[in-house]
Structure 1
Amino acid sequence: MKAMILAAGKGERLRPLTLHTPKPLVRAAGVPLIEYHLRALAAAGFSELVINHAWLGQQIEDHLGDGSRFGVSIRYSPEGEPLETGGGIFKALPLLGDEPFLVVNGDIFTDYAFAQLRKPLAGLAHLVLVDNPEHHLQGDFLLADGQVSDGQGAGERLTYSGLAVLSPQLFEGCEPGAFKLAALLRQAMARGLVSGERHAGRWIDVGTHERLADVERVLQESP
């Protein structure tokens, strides 16, 4: 199974850190955020990675290179202008192949064991959901009996973690350009084709200076 790290965000809320540094290369405990993903993916058996980028993206390529020093092979999908999550993945599909692939947001920090997602996909997508953080108390989707839906009903409304396994078939009929992944997921949910699970472990959406400080604290407390 291949994996894609989404690294095209501009990181405006992390300015001035991101004025001259792409968000995935912002450091936590002295290590660029994206390197935590690379090492975790390699340890989980993922050897072929795709990384998209836009803002200051050449810095990402220059820093990570071909991935060999992390034990992986990296191919890049540069975007002249940001294509949002859906458009960015769609553009990278030729690099990802015909089989389901893991996708992870480059700006999250988590202890989720990526190896758990190396299994057959039933449907078009499998999402990892987390308890709603203070900055997103309304949540995103409903999880009940292993199925994810968008609406009201039995189950608990949770937040999408930015970690999923997607089938290339989810993007059938899409056209090049910028579009959101959430719209495709909702269409698949309406057809009962999105499964999910709840991750009760560590997860931080590193979107602000305060949450970057949270990552620093977690790393300092780790043995």
Structure 2
Amino acid sequence: MKAMILAAGKGERMRPLTLATPKPLLKAAGKPLISYHLDHLRRAGFREVVINHAWLGDQIEETLGNGDQFGLSIQYSREGEPLETAGGIVRALPLLADDESDWFLVINGDIWSDFDLAQLIPPADADALLVVTHNPPHHPEGDFHLTDQGLLMDNGPDKVTFTGISLLRRCLFKGLTDRAGKLGPLLRNAMSDGRVRGLYHPGRWVDVGTPERLQALDSQLGRTESESHGRQ
């Protein structure tokens, strides 16, 4: 199975940090955010990764290259002007899925998590598997309801937050162009048909959407690294 990292956004909430640096290359504990994803993918057994980019995308290619330094093979889906999430996936589909493997992993480039990607197994009775977690303080209302049967629904009590980590099936995008817009409406349509499963992650997850959250993650990871060195 191949993986895609969504990295085409302009990072407007991150300004002024993203005026000269694309958001995926902003650093936490001395390491670009996107590098954490690449390391996690390799450890989970992934070998082929597609990264879409637009804003300052040349910097991403120059930094990551063909993926050799991460033990991966990286291809790029160049958008020029950023497409919405579903549109970006549709543009990259020829690089992601084929008749032999119509499932692929998608990760938002502006998150950090300790979720083990090796846990993701395509469900036989759905077209999407979304990793969800507890609601952070900045998003207390959550996104979707996770039923006792493991299905995700648009409405319901005790909503949880979508982490931006998902397994998606190619049929979700059938007949769509790269002007398909956002991914959310596609997922909600599939939910109404009972075709989206959820996997709850009780561990650490950060939506690195603002300079303040980036700084908090930088401090958190820096402390973790210091503690691990102290134990050695």
- TM-score scaled by length of structure 1: 0.96
Q: Give the match for residue 14 of structure 1.
A: 14
Distance 1:220 1:176, change over 3 A: closer
Written as runs of structure 1 = structure 2, the 5 A alignment for 1:35-74 is 35-74=35-74
> Once the two structures are superposed, what CA deviation does each residue of 1:159-193 show, in whole Å capped at 9, x if it has no partner?
11000000010001212315000010011001100
The Cα of 1:119 is off from its aligned counterpart by: 4.5
Q: How many angstroms apart in 2 are the aligned matches of 1:47 and 1:129?
A: 24
| Percent of residue pairs bearing the same amino acid type | 57
Give the counterpart letter for 2:153 in structure 1.
Answer: S
Q: Does 1:150 align with 2:154?
A: yes
Q: Deviations over 1:67-122 (max 9, x none)?
A: 01100000000112111111101110000013200100000000000111144553
- Segment drifting more, 59-68 vs 110-119: 110-119
What's 1:129 paired with?
132
Q: Is the 8 A contact 1:82 1:178 kept in 2?
A: no
1:26 aligned onto 2:29: no
Contiguous gaps of at least 5 residues in structure 2: none
Task: For structure 1, list consecutive stretches of 5 or more residues without a partner in the other structure.
Answer: none
Question: Which residue identity does 2:78 align to in structure 1?
Answer: P
Normalization by structure 2: what TM-score? 0.92
Contact preservation (8 Å) 1:2, 1:102? yes
- In the alignment, is the contact (CA less than 8 A) between 1:109 and 1:206 conserved in 2? yes
Q: CA deviation at 1:212?
A: 0.4
Task: Give the distance between the partners of 2:9 and 2:2, measured in 1 at CA.
Answer: 21
Q: CA RMSD of the aligned region, Å?
A: 1.2
Q: Following TM superposition, where does structure 1 have runs of at least 4 consecutive aligned residues deviating by more than 6 angstroms?
A: none
SS in 2 for 1:75: strand
Aligned counterparts of 1:4 and 1:42: Cα–Cα separation in 2: 13
Give secondary structure in 2 for the equivalent of 1:135.
Answer: coil
